[in-house]
Structures are given as C-alpha cells and as structure tokens.
Structure 1
C-alpha cells in the first residue's frame, strides 16, 4: 500500500516549480501502478501551450477557474471546480488560468511519468525508457 500526503512532497525534488505552473508529483512510474498522479497548480493568468505526444492525460479541476482550447478545432471550454477533461488523442491545446486566480488540478498520466520529465519545445514530455 502506498500512502502519501501532499506535505510529504512539498520542498522535495518531486515539487517542481516553473513560471506558469507548480507540479507536486505524488505517484510515479516506480510505484508500479501503470499511471502517475500529479497535484498541479496553474498560476494566475498563465497561458500554456502543450501537446503530450507520448502520454494520455486526464485532468480534474479542484480549485480555481480558466479554460482550455483545442488547437485542432479551435473550440474553447470553460474549466471550473468539478470539470474533468481527457486528452485522449494527444490533443494539442492551450490551458489558461483566469487572471487573479489559479487552477489546481489532479493530473493522471498514462504511461506513467518517471518524475524526471520536463516539457520540450512542443510542450510534450519525452517517453521514459
């Protein structure tokens, strides 16, 4: 059984902070679960263009508000507490947090992240060995 608390992650290498987001990596590939889980905060006013070419991601909003735009269709969807979205086609997208508020998201990746990934120029994570 794996039991962790967010407090166990804060201030460790699993607490990754960037200009637009902070990702607290809770479950990694080495846990053997077949997926990974992050508690991610999108900073107020952040606009992030991403495309996970090597991973599928499901995201559930638990705080804040913003929007996501599917770059293939141009369709924009509001995100608020209780919204879930799944990037089931490796969808290229722009994620925006509203100005004045952050978005806190629970993110599940398949295949699982190792914890060493960083976004490349396309906004993707490389596939782990």
Structure 2
C-alpha cells in the first residue's frame, strides 16, 4: 500500500512550479509507483491563460475549487469550469485553459508522468522525463 499526504508532498520535490508562472503541481502518484497512471493536485493561478497540447498523454481533470474555462482549439467551444466539473482530454485535445479565480484541480495522466515534467514549447509533456525520487 502507498500512503502519501498532500501537505507533506507540497514541501518535497514532488511539488513542481511551472517556469511560466501559470501553475504548480504536486505529483502524488508517479510512474515509479507502477500503477499505470499518475495523480496530481494542480493549482492554476488566477489570471492564467495558456495553451496546452498533451500529444503524448491522456488527461482527466476534476475541479475541486475555483473558476475558469477550457476551450478546445479545434472547434473553439468554451466549457466553463467550476467545482464539480470534470473534463477529459480523450483525444489529445489541444486546448486553452483560463483561470478567473485560482483553481485547484485533481489530475490523472496516462501514461503516468515521471515527476519533473513541465510543458514544452508545444504545451506538451515529454514521454520520458527526469523522475522524482521518493
């Protein structure tokens, strides 16, 4: 059994802050845990407005708190995000994420992240990245 505490993980190398200042993510479950997916608690800072295109990963995102929207680039459809909203990027959807109020999100990635990933120039995570230890 694996047991982790969010408050403790936030004080460890499992907390990753984006270089662009849009988000931070505490990686609670990673590839090294051998579960077949990774689980993260991610904070999207108020005022963030940025494009993402996970070409190598599928993601499900559940909003715990805050308010914003996600726009699919292919069709321009905007979906509001508020607590209780789940959006699923089941087709590697290129999208724009906007936070009107700071949003706390629970995120699941398949395949799992290794731990140190941040978005590349195309808004994607690389398939192989440096792993978080512990």
Query: Please, what TM-score do these two structures have when normalized by structure 1?
Result: 0.95
User: In 1, Cα distance between the equivalents of 2:99 and 2:119?
Assistant: 18
User: In 2, Cα distance between the equivalents of 1:122 and 1:57?
Assistant: 16
The answer to whether the 8 Å contact 2:16/2:116 transfers is no
1:48-79: CA deviations, max 9, x gaps?
20000000000000000100000001000000
Secondary structure at the aligned position of 1:102 is classed as strand
Which aligned segments of 4 or more residues in structure 1 are displaced greater than 4 angstroms? none
Query: What residue in structure 2 maps to residue 104 of structure 1?
Result: 104
Query: What residue in structure 1 maps to residue 118 of structure 2?
Result: 118
- How many aligned positions are there? 127
Mind listing any 5+ residue stretches in structure 1 that lack a counterpart? none
Which residue among 82, 85, 97 is the counterpart of 2:84? Answer: 82
Query: What residue in structure 2 maps to residue 21 of structure 1?
Result: 23
Mind listing any 5+ residue stretches in structure 2 that lack a counterpart? 130-134
User: In 1, Cα distance between the equivalents of 2:103 and 2:117?
Assistant: 21
User: In 1, Cα distance between the equivalents of 2:46 and 2:79?
Assistant: 17
In the TM superposition, residue 116 of structure 1 has moved relative to its aligned partner by 2.2
Secondary structure at the aligned position of 1:30 is classed as helix
